[in-house]
Structure 1
Amino acid sequence: MLQTPERAGLARRVPRAVWAWVRSAPGTYLWLLVLAATSFVVARMDPAALDWFLAARSTNIDQLTSHPVHALVASALWTEQADFPLYLVLFTLFHANAERWLGTWRWLTVAATAHVLATLVSEGVVAWGIVRGRLQADLADTVDVGVSYALAGVVAVLTYRFAGGWRWLYGTGVVVFYLVPLVTSHTFTDLGHFCAVLIGLCFHRFARGRPTWDPGLLWQRWRGRRGTA
């Protein structure tokens, strides 16, 4: 079957457009590629050895005490296999947008800071609870991998992407979304997520001089087109 010039042109433009889209947020898609590879490994690992394997790459107290740098880096490169489809959507929606808006290095600074500091705060609370006898000792070697703290920090810093009252609406929604689980469940991961949100909000200086977005303009344009139709 002969290919028409229109189809041939489309076949050339689509890969170029996809590549340009990936290049606009290289850090996000590289990180996502690593998570896809590690998730592939996890999915094919013997379930009997999986907990031990992930615990050795977790940001739990045992690993943070003995190998702090390795724990903080490795935990951001591994995730439980069932979580990966969610990461795929959230990475595309939040990380890529934040990287395009802030630039790669500023985005990475926000994500890494949220991941590291929220981990240290939440695990510090766990260590304090174990020493005081208020938490079970086996929490010291629990499995805790993934990049949800980094994601929470990035979600929070995107508050400054919005203009006017939309900024307050989005920011309030983010705070409430992460505060409710902390109040109702009281888990160390909920504490870590909320700390990451507060950390992300502290990076308001990174947003200075960056373009803002007013969703209300979309509504106005849509109404304008309806009025002229």
Structure 2
Amino acid sequence: MRITGGLRRVWRYVRSAPGTYVWLAVLFVTTVALHHMSPVAEERFLRARSTNLRELSSHPVRVLIASAMWIEGGHWVPYAVLYSVFHARVERWLGTVRWLAVCVLAHVVATLVSEGVLLWAIRAGVAPVSSVDAVDVGVSYALAGVMGVLVFRIRGAVWRYGYLGAVLVVYGAPLVVGRTFTDVGHAVGLLTGLVCGPVAAGRVRRTRNPKETAAVGSD
């Protein structure tokens, strides 16, 4: 009975965040597919679906979508945990449409800014010209955005600012130590989520307040 009850609770949680778990299912399938490729074939395959400078200049929409369907490195389980902790919670809070809007915005903005920084670095002679073909796929920019918007869901000033400080360290420290274009992308993704937070949280509060909804309808 306990096992059955636990499974029911898990299923209810999954059903409450359909977008998160459909995305995870897609990532599981694509990760399994990568494990069946040779290292050379995998690199060639992912490069064609990367949001690198060459592919963005030729097929921007296609690679922006395709790059979010693959995980470089083939480690799916950690993302399953992160999606359940962050994505599912934000989707349950904002609803699937607003959660997806935050994900898309963070993914697109972070990609364009980080690739713009890389282009500047190549022209300045700081980065090698071969970087235009770098493999750049994954879901981490969207994850950073969701982690940013989640700040506005946490109750209590101590917990909220403690969480904010933690994510700022997680995504800010690599900018000081590594300073790669992906580090820039993660930081931009986080900032995008933080910018979206007040708007998303405000809209949810308004739609869930029946008195305010009635007042607006009577005007």
Q: TM-score range, shorter-chain basis? A: 0.7 to 0.9
Q: Letter of the 1:61 partner, please give it.
A: L
Give yes or no for contact 1:130–1:137 (8 Å, CA) kept in 2: yes
Please give the residue correspondences for 1:123-162 in structure 2 after superposition, counting only pairs within 5 Å. Answer: 123-162=115-154
Larger Rg: 1
Partner of 2:161: 168
- CA positional deviation for 1:10: 6.5
Cα distance in 2, alignment partners of residues 185 and 27 from structure 1: 33
Cα distance in 2, alignment partners of residues 139 and 87 from structure 1: 26
Secondary structure of 1:82's aligned partner: coil
Secondary structure of 1:58's aligned partner: coil
Partner of 1:77: 69
- CA positional deviation for 1:176: 1.7
Cα distance in 2, alignment partners of residues 57 and 202 from structure 1: 28
Secondary structure of 2:78's aligned partner: helix
Partner of 2:202: 208
Give yes or no for contact 1:55–1:141 (8 Å, CA) kept in 2: yes
- CA positional deviation for 1:20: 2.2
Q: Could you tell me which of 34, 41, 45 is aligned with 2:33?
A: 41
Provide Cα deviations, 1:114-142, integer angstroms capped at 9, x if missing partner: 00000000001111111222210111011
Report the CA distance shift for 1:163/1:134 in structure 2 as closer, same or farther (over 3 A). Answer: same
TM-score, normalized by length of structure 1? 0.83
- CA positional deviation for 1:15: 5.2
Q: Letter of the 2:126 partner, please give it.
A: R
Work out whether 1:56 is the aligned partner of 2:34.
Answer: no
Secondary structure of 2:102's aligned partner: helix
Cα distance in 2, alignment partners of residues 74 and 156 from structure 1: 23
Cα distance in 2, alignment partners of residues 18 and 86 from structure 1: 18
Report the CA distance shift for 1:191/1:26 in structure 2 as closer, same or farther (over 3 A). Answer: same
Q: Letter of the 1:188 partner, please give it.
A: F
Secondary structure of 2:64's aligned partner: helix
Give yes or no for contact 1:40–1:81 (8 Å, CA) kept in 2: no
TM-score, normalized by length of structure 2? 0.87
Structure 1: unaligned runs, 5 residues or longer: 1-6, 212-229
Give yes or no for contact 2:102–2:145 (8 Å, CA) kept in 1: yes
- Among the aligned pairs, what percent are the same residue? 51
Work out whether 1:193 is the aligned partner of 2:170.
Answer: no
Partner of 1:97: 89
- CA positional deviation for 1:101: 0.9
Report the CA distance shift for 1:18/1:176 in structure 2 as closer, same or farther (over 3 A). Answer: closer
Report the CA distance shift for 1:81/1:135 in structure 2 as closer, same or farther (over 3 A). Answer: closer
Give yes or no for contact 1:43–1:81 (8 Å, CA) kept in 2: no
* RMSD (Å), alpha carbons: 1.7
Cα distance in 2, alignment partners of residues 33 and 161 from structure 1: 26
Q: Letter of the 2:202 partner, please give it.
A: R
Aligned residue-pair number: 203
Cα distance in 1, alignment partners of residues 178 and 12 from structure 2: 42
Secondary structure of 1:83's aligned partner: coil
Cα distance in 2, alignment partners of residues 145 and 180 from structure 1: 22
Any runs of at least 4 consecutive aligned residues in structure 1 with deviations exceeding 4 A, and if so which?
13-16
